[in-house]
Chains A and B, each alone.
Chain A
């Protein structure tokens, strides 16, 4: 790709073809176009996104989480820590002038882990952090996920208890509810259980078993278990993992194993009971076949799902080994939520689109009294637009209608008196009368 940036014109040899015909040829200007995978948000869609962010910021604060705002890019060698091979491949990378490789963040968790280990390590534990911002992944755009998309999430650091796990899962459920997603389920898994069941297997066999469970492919799973020479109750348990979806009964025979298997089952059961106490029994379903992210997760894992959206809206879990890679062994649990995707599952999408039409449009005027009235109305919380184009009445009324505004105010030239047009026609009003009227103006 031959890119020349000069006079802010980007020229690229970009070729894509439709029915064999080259549509954009060498040196064709791309000015005014967007690259694949990014998008503009404006008008009501921008309002809706900001509203969603505000709702989540407010929610996380009320659960006593504090915001962290890490940089958008940092050293690649930092960001790849804890990242899966897929995520590493998806990172945008570039160089600084000293030749260091930099990368755009593809996820927040590694950054929060770095901050916790290098800056906040001597703060009283646990740390409760949340973040909201863009992440960047060089992947094919999917439903509700462009190459740049918005993640919001929390990390609860320095607590390895079922109470910490349950708090984060409950907060994830609260986040979906706050976003007006009514129809959703939290699928709760336990990586520690799978890890314990496969602890002594060589990596090759382990990965084949994990993959077959992940695909819920019984034929492949049987073959992988055969090849690994698995027998007895451990084999039976592994073979049945893909079907273990439901309530606490899926754990029943796990306690008999003793050791790490029973421990993992026991802690999952505790988290489940706590979630029942949170009133989330109907929202949570256990799924022991949830074995994704095995290199990363060490305890519970969970995903938020909603019918009609084919991908999880949020995912998270316990990752007790990540922060140690920055030099401080701290347990942690957290989740990340894709805001754009979650908004696809909203029960009534319009509820996040605030009314933005001005309450009042005021004809252009240079009187101090007029401008001070405008300022006082704005301070009182009303949306007031001054027509800076100096339109005459008819034009101004037409413009106001096009903006969904029901009221136009004009200076009468007389001290303390204005003309107000609204549904009731035109009439003279004093400042006091106008203030009286504002009480009937809706949000």
Chain B
């Protein structure tokens, strides 16, 4: 049988993801600086591939990877059709709406249009639609906190961990859109065709999360 392939995201979730697999006894010699993008683990019958975080859902949806680890924020933004059987209890963050302090308490429904810079255009669009706010979404790929300071946008939608970056840029949180953490995703075909292997891996990960107690219990 072919090896199960797990897509790991570069960036902030990589280290805890690698730790998780090391904790399970895999070698998983991958780091953010890794040049090697595919690592075989013959002993454990796994193969890891290292992808840009926002590409992980794509690898998994197409079946190029059977499983993947990704932040829920990135998963929702991708709109990819994958299974989400397990929350991993690390990489907690929040998706928030933020802006200059004078926007606090303002009712944006009464404004004809508000400009919002974000790395999450899909999530932002859905949020404003649901809130009944007309918004003009300006998609950016990074450092969105800059946008309100230079008049590119009134507000931003972004993830915060500590809120430090917002404060440093003179922004305050106006509303929480969602709470996110790292989640395990599975290809729809792999779950059925590699059921035994996937289940075994899910069970080991679940046990590891439970025993280290680092975060929410994933399966309640």
- Which of B9-17, B80-88, B170-178 lines the interface with chain A? B80-88
Q: Is B191 an interface residue (CB 8 A)?
A: yes
The answer to whether B218 and A309 touch across the interface, beta carbons within 8 angstroms, is: no
The answer to whether A312 and B189 touch across the interface, beta carbons within 8 angstroms, is: yes
The answer to whether A310 and B2 touch across the interface, beta carbons within 8 angstroms, is: no
**Which residues of chain A (176-234) have a CB below 8 Å from chain B?**
185, 187, 215-220, 222
Residues of A with C-beta under 8 A to B60: 310
**Which residues of chain B (80-101) have a CB below 8 Å from chain A?**
82-87
User: A219, A246, A287, A310: which contacts B218 (Cβ < 8 A)?
Assistant: A219
Which of A218, A220, A242, A310 has the most CB atoms of chain B within a 10 A radius of its CB? A310
Supposing A305-B189, A310-B63 touch, asked if A216 and B84 sit within 8 A by C-beta, the answer is: yes
The answer to whether A219 and B220 touch across the interface, beta carbons within 8 angstroms, is: yes
User: A218, A285, A308: which contacts B192 (Cβ < 8 A)?
Assistant: A285
The answer to whether B220 and A143 touch across the interface, beta carbons within 8 angstroms, is: no
The answer to whether B85 and A216 touch across the interface, beta carbons within 8 angstroms, is: yes
The answer to whether A311 and B192 touch across the interface, beta carbons within 8 angstroms, is: no
Residue of A nearest to B194 (CB): A307
Residues of A with C-beta under 8 A to B2: 307
Q: CB-defined interface of B53-64 with A at 8 Å, one 1/0 digit per residue?
A: 000000011111
Residues of B with C-beta under 8 A to A306: 189, 193
Nearest-Cβ distance from residue A396 to partner chain B, whole angstroms: 48
The answer to whether A245 and B195 touch across the interface, beta carbons within 8 angstroms, is: yes
CA distance A405 to B141 in the complex (A): 57
CA distance A310 to B188 in the complex (A): 7
Residue of B nearest to A217 (CB): B84
Nearest-Cβ distance from residue B55 to partner chain A, whole angstroms: 14
* 28 A-B pairs (CB sep. < 8 Å): A142-B62, A143-B62, A185-B192, A215-B82, A217-B85, A218-B86, A218-B219, A219-B87, A219-B218, A219-B219, A219-B220, A220-B84, A222-B220, A242-B85, A245-B191, A245-B195, A246-B195, A285-B192, A285-B195, A305-B189, A305-B192, A305-B193, A306-B189, A306-B193, A307-B193, A310-B188, A311-B63, A311-B189
The answer to whether A215 and B193 touch across the interface, beta carbons within 8 angstroms, is: no
Number of B interface residues at 8 Å Cβ cutoff, please give it.
25
Nearest-Cβ distance from residue B219 to partner chain A, whole angstroms: 5
Q: Is B118 an interface residue (CB 8 A)?
A: no
Q: CB-defined interface of B177-220 with A at 8 Å, one 1/0 digit per residue?
A: 00000000011111111110000000000000000000000111
The answer to whether B189 and A310 touch across the interface, beta carbons within 8 angstroms, is: yes
Nearest-Cβ distance from residue A250 to partner chain B, whole angstroms: 12
The answer to whether B192 and A310 touch across the interface, beta carbons within 8 angstroms, is: no
Residues of B with C-beta under 8 A to A218: 85-86, 218-220
Nearest-Cβ distance from residue A400 to partner chain B, whole angstroms: 43
Nearest-Cβ distance from residue B201 to partner chain A, whole angstroms: 14
The answer to whether B220 and A308 touch across the interface, beta carbons within 8 angstroms, is: no
The answer to whether B220 and A185 touch across the interface, beta carbons within 8 angstroms, is: no
Which of B60, B85, B87 has the most CB atoms of chain A within a 10 A radius of its CB? B85
The answer to whether B63 and A308 touch across the interface, beta carbons within 8 angstroms, is: yes
The answer to whether B192 and A215 touch across the interface, beta carbons within 8 angstroms, is: no
CA distance A222 to B216 in the complex (A): 14
CA distance A218 to B2 in the complex (A): 28
Residue of B nearest to A183 (CB): B193
The answer to whether B186 and A216 touch across the interface, beta carbons within 8 angstroms, is: yes
CA distance A219 to B195 in the complex (A): 20
The answer to whether A185 and B83 touch across the interface, beta carbons within 8 angstroms, is: no
Residues of B with C-beta under 8 A to A220: 84
Residues of B with C-beta under 8 A to A215: 82-84
CA distance A365 to B86 in the complex (A): 75
Which of B2, B60, B86, B193 has the most CB atoms of chain A within a 10 A radius of its CB? B193
CA distance A306 to B188 in the complex (A): 11
Residues of A with C-beta under 8 A to B187: 310
Residues of B with C-beta under 8 A to A185: 192-193
CA distance A215 to B61 in the complex (A): 12
Nearest-Cβ distance from residue B216 to partner chain A, whole angstroms: 8
CA distance A441 to B195 in the complex (A): 49
Residue of B nearest to A308 (CB): B63
Nearest-Cβ distance from residue B98 to partner chain A, whole angstroms: 26
Q: CB-defined interface of A287-318 with B at 8 Å, one 1/0 digit per residue?
A: 10000000000000000011111111000000
Residue of A nearest to B195 (CB): A245
Residue of A nearest to B64 (CB): A310
Residues of B with C-beta under 8 A to A219: 87, 218-220
Residues of B with C-beta under 8 A to A187: 192
Residue of B nearest to A246 (CB): B195
